[in-house]
Structure 1
Amino acid sequence: MGIRVQPGFFFLHVLVLFFLSFYMHLSIGVDTIFPGQPISGNQTITSQDERFELGFFKPNNSQNYYIGIWYKKVPVHTVVWVANRYKPLADPFSSKLELSVNGNLVVQNQSKIQVWSTSIISSTLNSTFAVLEDSGNLVLRSRSNSSVVLWQSFDHPTDTWLPGGKLGLNKLTRKQQIYSSWSSYDDPAPGPFLLKLDPNGTRQYFIMWNGDKHWTCGIWPGRVSVFGPDMLDDNYNNMTYVSNEEENYFTYSVTKTSILSRFVMDSSGQLRQLTWLEDSQQWDLIWSRPQQQCEIYALCGEYGGCNQFSVPTCKCLQGFEPRFPTEWISGNHSHGCVRTTPLQCRKGGKDGFRMIPNIRLPANAVSLTVRSSKECEAACLENCTCTAYTFDGECSIWLENLLNIQYLSFGDNLGKDLHLRVAAVELVVYRSRTKRRINGDIVGAAAGVATLTVILGFIIWKCRRRQFSSAVKPTEDLLVLYKYSDLRKATKNFSEKLGEGGFGSVFKGTLPNSAEIAAKKLKCHGQGEKQFRTEVSTIGTIHHINLIRLRGFCLEGTKRFLVYEYMPNGSLESHLFQKNPRILDWKTRCQIALGIARGLEYLHEKCRDCIIHCDIKPENILLDAGYNPQISDFGLAKLLGRDFSRVLTTVKGTRGYLAPEWISGIAITAKADVFSYGMMLFEIISGRRNWEIKDDRMNDYFPAQVMKKLSTGEELLTLLDEKLEQNADIEELTRVCKVACWCIQDDEGDRPSMKSVVQILEGALDVIMPPIPSFIENIAENPEEGSPTPGF
């Protein structure tokens, strides 16, 4: 007896199976690719925690498509791995990523031609599956034993090193995990820069350039470098080096799984570590080697000059032009520049020299024994292969095309004058004069002369006005040398005074293009002269959103002016301690505190030299139109080379903010700024000076109150500035109070770095209860006598 199936039921059954199959084809499994389930078009797979996504993507300003892995939830599209970086695709919908019958992951283009494969050897059909793990690792596993890894993207990285990945070398197979930069920001093809471990088995890594040249710790052409102690920060990174019989490798992890962190071998030649900031929705650079782009070997190519403080960074030397203009415009400067006029030496002609002032000299100089600059010049001219010379008591010449020419900033004493060889015709200035016969009467001639005078006067006026206005072009980062007469005109004869300090007065002004400035007039003797030179040579060479922008300066006779961007909301001090109609709410104060911390972190850790400000206080924090803080007044700043940990100097700064090491006479570190920052943080909380005592009692000292309430668990809202009426987030207030207490620890080793302060204020790191510093304990024990030096 058979079973009879109704035609309608059979059709419905087939329809359900069809849609089920169609749905499964679209979803491809959440994180897995199985045989017979190719990825094409806009189909993707996603890791279980939805952190990473794999599929087809197209870089900005490109018509090509690639298979890659990127962060799924980061709004800035950030690719961490690329499969077919050598062979891009024209159309993702007619291309596909799939598991072939021999178990390999393969990418086929629209013509069914294979352009990429995992290239494993397997004799069993349909024996594998691929899974995108939560770490961002794409893994090919055996279907018969899923613990067996047949291939993984972590062993074949592109430009990005993710937590859990390796920078390593297999001693048995000699295979390495090598990270190669993109060719450019919109081309994933391998670029000229590689990151690799030392194949000789040491704890060293190379940053290679075109296979042979590589960078190290600021010397060209370098050999090796290691990850510095700043990478072993238990508050953020856990960097580990492993060496055993099979392999050597570096690997790292982050302390919190919520942190998105990555190393990138950037197409600029820098190895960078970045972390994602959820609040600002951007990637934040927290570590780089080399620290400045101009330290990258051959960044601007042959005859390209590098200026760290201009836009663009690379420019061809005068008399040269880009070898490949299209690539130069796209940001790839590695091919360098070529002469617009060939040298004449080999043709029997004459060459000359053009001086390039204040640069860091190129590598590979040859020393000659001569007695004078003239003899050095003559020696170079006699050799047709000599491209440049310099003489500073000793003669050095270059016998090859020049690399690594770097312009230095005002006040940098490392600069030298380089004499660059050029064709003599390049040095000739032609002046054409047209002789005109004057036929006419005296009135006609006089009228012509008068007209010419008016035209010339107008041209001169326009040129001077253009020269003055050029100081505010947004594309120029170089400092401007202002004339005193221009500043006097801009400030209406210095009629509107913004403030006055120990070194002089500050006046408001307006440039011809309506840009507002603050002109700081300094006393031109003693400390004023020293402050002028210090400020120009430090803040004039760096740029950060939380550092005051120095536009230029005036150096005319005994007149010394520093010209800054105008900050319409004045100083933090005016909002905290003076009568001000604008009350800073708690949220604004937190943003100000975080901005100041970011600015100090940049000074301490992200400049070529560590810059210690030495005078952090509310008076030196200026607020722009959006109440974003900008650190100002760098006249007391000290530069600390990266090869040194301390600098010995005379006492600087302001009483109430000085760290104890200033008084003890020992050499200081950046932790002196951390102490000052902590003291200022207390004032941001309370809205009054730390030393402002209401009842003539030392136990009214505000930092002591904060310590007491934290240690006893008392209500912290009563510590707030009365103007806030206790309107604050208690969790944020507790965090800020703890940070302030950690910053003012007696021993500088107990104080956090500004990087850690930033991470705590952002909520990326937890902070435990701080110990009570000894000077506050002294106040608690002797409240009537007090400590002679709280805040020092």
Structure 2
Amino acid sequence: MAPFFFLLLLSQILLCAAIDTINSSTPLSGVQQIVSKGNKFTLGFYTPLQGKTTSSPSNYYIAIWYSNIQQTTVWTANSDAPVTDPTTTALTIGSDGNLVLLDQSKNRQLWSTNMSIGSNSTIAVLRDDGSLDLTDATNPSIVYWRSIDHPTNTWLPGGKLGLNKTTGVSQRLVPWRNTANPSPGLFSLELDPNGSTQYFIQWKDSITYWTSGPWNGNIFSLVPEMTAGYNYNFQFIDNGTESYFIYSMKDNNIISRFIIDVNGQIKQETWVSFTQSWTMFWAQPRSQCEVYALCGAYGSCKVDALPFCTCIKGFTQKIQSDWDLQDYSGGCKRRVPLQCQTNSSSSQSQSDKFYSMESVRLPDNAQTAVAASSQDCRVACLNSCSCNAYTYNSSGCFVWHGDLINLQDQYSGNGGGTLFLRLAASELPDSKKSKTVIIGAVVGGVAAVLIVIAIVSYFIFQKYRRERTLRISKTAGGTLIAFRYSDLQHVTNNFSERLGGGAFGSVFKGKLPDSTAIAVKRLDGVHQGEKQFRAEVSTIGTIQHVNLVRLLGFCSEGSRRLLVYEFMPEGSLDLQLFPGEKTALSWATRYQIALGTARGLNYLHEKCRDCIIHCDVKPENILLDESFVPKVADFGLAKLLGRDFSRVLTTMRGTRGYLAPEWISGVAITAKADVFSYGMMLFELISGRRNSDHGEERGSTFFPTFAASKLHEGDVRILMDPRLNGDGNVDELTKACKVACWCIQDDESARPTTGQIVQILEGFLDVNMPPVPRSLRVLGESPDVINFFSDISSSQTSQTQNSTTTSQTHSATSGSSHFQSS
């Protein structure tokens, strides 16, 4: 008898798992689930993995998740009303037709769709778009409620995010409290309730720390990345009753989601089944530390550290378990109370002291105080027990009463400065006692030091005579070495072996005393002060990637500015690629060079704290190691040159054939300028010749023009370097030609991003046939076409481009659908 009941129970569970509908006679409870018809989404009781512990019962939530992506929910019903026993709780159709979650053990309602229906003749159906729809049981076209239009922390394609102007109800995204608790967090994304067409991210519904900018008819003005959304359809609706934004996928096989995470960032992500991971397409704010009050009271954000949040000196995490789950909102607490808080009047109790925090983003809610000097400002803060910090600058004295929030370390923007933090005396060393200890230690050690010096001086002198050693000063930026100019003169043999050079200076080979080979770049035209130069170089020194040349150190003495890089034994790509070499690079090597270069550029564009535009992508700036792995060089020069960079534009025009048209049209430069240069270089990788050096073979045809026409004809083998004798993968060759043609489109919005280039070359994205750029069609038959990118005046270029705007617009629009997941 028992096996019969077991089989009956199992059949009921399987039956529930096989349907996509809930009605009044089939409530959902316990382990039961419903699955959409295409098996894309599942609904049931869900508990976060992080919340499962042996010491406390798990909380369960009605949730929708991806059927084939582990532990990734897209919607939660009872976020703030969890249940501990799903077997006594049911999701069912109520007597008023609403979908309700009932705790049957306590006979209370935990959640409801809360619509005015007036009939219980309804059903709930889970769709393949991830939406749970409440519809009329007899007429499915009547939809009363959709979960996709009531998002929690995830916004799926097809769902609305906007404002009902009649009811004032806002559809918005709110993150989980932490990775184990889906109750609403402190941040939110929503359309401006005052009626403008821009979205805000806010902290506690009060402080706005990011805005999309208003809708301009095509994109949100402060989200230019939307122009690169080749896989998406965007639409903004604004009428008398509602305003909302909606997006969809051009390929329904692509899994994409838009989320607001527990740390207050919004992200657009795509699922890559090959790697079983989410790939981020876009995120805002770009820097995690731009999220307001991310680290809570007395917590400070660090851009280049993980975790981002730490407690400032004298404080410790208030709730450690929350910090372990990436919830920093609880902030930090004092380790030792202030002297004034202990109500101690003992003569032995020391007055509170101040700890100097330099280069920090000052907290909000400062109050002014009357003070004629920094000392007066300090006294003013000490005289009030509620004063926790002060600062004194050219604008006067400012004090902070109450909690300190929104702090950031290593901050150099507006609103930064030195903060004097009030701490108990025991938190800081006594300067008088410290001096006594130091003096005693110095006096006691002087005799020993003198003896040691006498013994070793002779050996040091002899060693100095035998070999002049390299003298290296303190490290800068953690791992970078600050070299003396005289040392670099010595290791380069007075800069005698020149490896190459360009608009920014010359490169020389050197060898450190341990026989490590280095490349020393002597910069021209860099006029920053030493402090600024060191700060810039330290930032660049933190950027490391297998396809970026590693910066080892620098020199800054007087007007001399030098950078020290790792040495690349195979030299630059142009030396290996173009005719004159005894052996030609194989096609497989060339393809890996193209892929590696794209990966390096993508890291600069999308993975660094700030987008770094290289501005001078060409074979001379792609270096090769002993295994012919490509490494992008000179990627930090655009950042180093800073305001002086515009002065170098004239020199950069000497790099014939790589500059995008926008360089000389007067418009702002984006990362797509690097994409154009990459495309021109990719043509040269394919042909093994400079783009402008093919004239004698084909009359006067510019190679990219010739390549675009042959690509459309399907005859791509003729484009391959003749030295390879046709030995190469035709599919890879076709793919590379298509990528190159897309990269050199006149309209930068039609060009792919470097991230998409990587995916195409890796085989994760398909690419359609590109149009022939209009500039190539118009000027491509002239051997002087290269001057369009190098020599013509900006006014002439602007006129030429203006005349082609209409046709380019169509190209950009149609081109946006040509990059699709394979």
May I ask how many residue pairs the two structures share in their alignment?
Answer: 733
Matched, 1:194 2:188: yes
Q: How does 1:774-789 map to 2 (within 5 A)?
A: 774=775, 778=779, 780-781=781-782
For the pair 1:616 / 2:617, whether they are aligned, the reply is yes
Q: How does 1:172-183 map to 2 (within 5 A)?
A: 172-183=166-177
Equivalent position of 2:799 in the other structure:
none
Residue in structure 2 matched with residue 417 of structure 1 by the alignment? 418
Return the offset for 1:319. Answer: 2.0
Deviations 1:556-605 (A, max 9, x none): 8898665668889876556645969995654x755654554455456456
Instruction: State the match for 2:48 in structure 1.
Output: 59
Shift of 1:39: 4.5
CA distance 1:521–1:626, shift in 2 (3 Å): closer
Could you say which residue in structure 2 is the equivalent of 1:282?
277
Map 1:487-502 onto structure 2 (within 5 A). 501=501, 502=505
Looking at structure 2, the residues matched to 71 and 592 of structure 1 have their Cα atoms a distance apart, in angstroms, of 37
Is the partner of 1:235 in helix, strand or coil? coil
Q: Distance in 1 between matches of 2:614 and 2:240?
A: 48
Using the TM superposition, give the Cα deviation of residue 168 of structure 1 relative to its aligned residue in structure 2, in angstroms: 2.2
Among 263, 266, 282, the residue aligned to 1:268: 263
Give, in whole Å, the separation in 2 of the partners of 1:413 and 1:120. Answer: 47
1:294 equivalent in alignment to 2:289: yes
| Equivalent position of 1:686 in the other structure | 687
Name the aligned partner's letter for residue 132 of structure 2. L
Any residues of structure 2 matched to 1:746-765 within 5 Å, and which? 751=751, 754=754, 764=765
Q: Residues 622 and 313 (structure 1 numbering): CA distance in 2 closer, same or farther, change over 3 Å? A: farther
Q: CA deviation at 1:161?
A: 0.6
Change (3 A) 1:591 1:162: farther
In 1, distance between residues paired with 2:538 and 2:754? 23
Letter in 2 for 1:423: A
Deviation digits for residues 106-137 of structure 1 (CA, Å, limit 9, x no counterpart): 55679587674335479989633221112110
Separation of aligned partners in 2, 1:46 and 1:771: 47
Residue 361 of structure 1 deviates from its aligned partner by 2.6
Deviation of residue 70 (structure 1)? 2.0
Residue 749 to residue 216, structure 1, CA distance change in 2 (3 Å) = closer
1:343 maps to what in 2?
338
Residues 80/557 of structure 1: CA separation in 2 closer, same or farther (3 Å cut)? same
**SS across alignment from 2:293:** coil
State the partner residue of 2:136: 142
1:312 counterpart (301, 307, 314): 307
The change in CA–CA distance for 1:234 and 1:208 in structure 2 (over 3 A counts) is: closer
Aligned to 2:632: 631
Quote the Cα distance in structure 2 between the aligned partners of 1:35 and 1:726: 69
Whether the aligned pair in 2 keeps the contact of 1:309 and 1:542 (CA below 8 Å) is no
Q: Percent identity?
A: 41
Q: CA deviation at 1:744?
A: 3.0
Q: CA deviation at 1:734?
A: 3.4
Q: What code does the residue aligned with 1:702 have?
A: F
- What SS does the corresponding residue of 2:264 show, helix, strand or coil? coil
C-alpha contact 1:38 1:99 (8 A) present in aligned 2: yes
Using the alignment, how far apart are the partners of 2:568 and 2:512 within structure 1? Answer: 12
Residue 391 of structure 2 corresponds to 390
1:308 and 1:326 map into 2 onto residues whose CA distance is 23
Deviation readout 1:311-355 (Å, 9 max, x if unpaired): 221121122222222222332222222222333356575333322
- Cα 1:59–1:453 change in 2 (3 A) is farther
- Residues 552-591 of structure 1: pairs in structure 2 closer than 5 A: 576-577=577-578, 585-586=587-588
Structure 2 vs 1, CA of residues 150 and 786 (structure 1 numbering), >3 Å: closer, same or farther? closer
Question: For 1:351-750, what aligned pairs fall within 5 Å after superposition?
Answer: 351-367=352-368, 372-400=373-401, 401-408=403-410, 416-429=417-430, 430-431=433-434, 479-482=478-481, 484=483, 501=501, 502-505=505-508, 520-523=519-522, 526-527=525-526, 536=537, 539-540=540-541, 547=548, 576-577=577-578, 585-586=587-588, 593-594=594-595, 596-597=597-598, 599-600=600-601, 603-604=604-605, 609-621=610-622, 630-638=631-639, 650-651=649-650, 653=652, 655-659=655-659, 661=661, 664=664, 666=666, 669-670=669-670, 671-693=672-694, 695=696, 699=700, 701-711=702-712, 713-722=713-722, 726=726, 730=730, 732-745=732-745
Supply the distance in 1 between the matched residues of 2:517 and 2:211 (Cα, whole angstroms): 38
Q: 1:545 to 1:289 in 2, by over 3 A?
A: farther
Structure 1 vs Structure 2 CA RMSD: 5.1
Moved more, 48-57 or 261-270: 48-57
Q: 1:112 to 1:425 in 2, by over 3 A?
A: closer
Aligned to 2:226: 231
Structure 1 residue identity aligned to 2:479: V
Matched to 2:741, the amino acid is C
Is contact 2:48–2:71 with CA below 8 Å preserved after alignment?
Answer: no
CA distance in 2, matches of 1:81, 1:146: 22
1 or 2, which has the higher helix percentage? 2
Q: Deviations over 1:445-491 (max 9, x none)?
A: 99x979x989xx9xxxxxxxxxx9x99xxxxx964353659x999xx
Distance 1:369 1:677, change over 3 A: farther
CA distance in 2, matches of 1:707, 1:26: 57
Correspondence for 1:203 = 197
Identify if the C-alpha distance between structure 1 residues 746 and 20 changes in structure 2 by more than 3 Å, giving closer, same or farther: closer
Partner letter of residue 60 of structure 1? L
TM-aligned CA distance change 1:626 to 1:317, over 3 Å: farther
Could you tell me which residue of structure 1 aligns to residue 794 of structure 2? none
Higher alpha-carbon deviation: 45-54 or 606-615:
606-615
Given that 2:357 and 2:420 are in contact with CA atoms closer than 8 Å, whether structure 1 keeps it comes out as: yes
Q: Equivalent residue of 1:387, what SS?
A: strand
Higher relative contact order (CA 8 A, sep 6+): 2
Distance in 2, Cα, partners of 1:625 & 1:117: 64
User: Residue 249 and residue 567 in structure 1: after superposition, are their counterparts in 2 closer, same or farther (change >3 A)?
Assistant: farther
Letter in 2 for 1:175: V
Larger displacement relative to structure 2 (365-374 or 555-564): 555-564
Normalising by structure 2, what TM-score?
0.74
Deviation at 1:239, TM superposition (A): 3.1
Indicate if the aligned counterparts of 2:481 and 2:552 stay in contact, CA closer than 8 A: no
TM-score, normalised relative to structure 1: 0.76
Q: Cα–Cα, structure 1 residues 132 and 746, in superposed 2: closer, same or farther, change >3 Å?
A: closer
Deviation at 1:293, TM superposition (A): 0.8
C-alpha spacing 1:480/1:123, structure 2 compared with 1 (3 Å) = closer
Output the CA distance in 1 between the equivalents of 2:679 and 2:746.
12
Q: Which residue of 2 aligns with 1:48?
A: 37
Change (3 A) 1:115 1:583: farther
1:97-246 equivalence runs, <5 A: 97-100=90-93, 102=95, 103-107=97-101, 116-120=110-114, 127-217=121-211, 228-231=223-226, 235-246=230-241
Answer whether contact 1:621 1:631 (CA < 8 A) is retained: yes
Q: Distance in 2 between matches of 1:123 and 1:311?
A: 50
List runs of 5+ in structure 2 lacking aligned partners.
53-57, 214-219, 457-471, 792-822
Q: Is the 8 A contact 1:137 1:152 kept in 2?
A: yes
In structure 2, relative to structure 1, the CA distance for the partners of 1:353 and 1:650 (3 Å cut) is: farther
**Distance verdict in 2 for CA 1:734–1:649, change over 3 Å:** same
Measure, in 2, the Cα distance between the counterparts of 1:506 and 1:21: 74
From the superposition, tell whether residues 209 and 772 of structure 1 become closer, same or farther in structure 2 (CA, over 3 Å).
Answer: closer
Contact 2:701–2:781 (CA under 8 A) maintained in structure 1: no
SS of equivalent residue, structure 2 residue 162: strand
Aligned partner letter, 2:522 = K
Q: Is the 8 A contact 2:202 2:210 kept in 1?
A: no
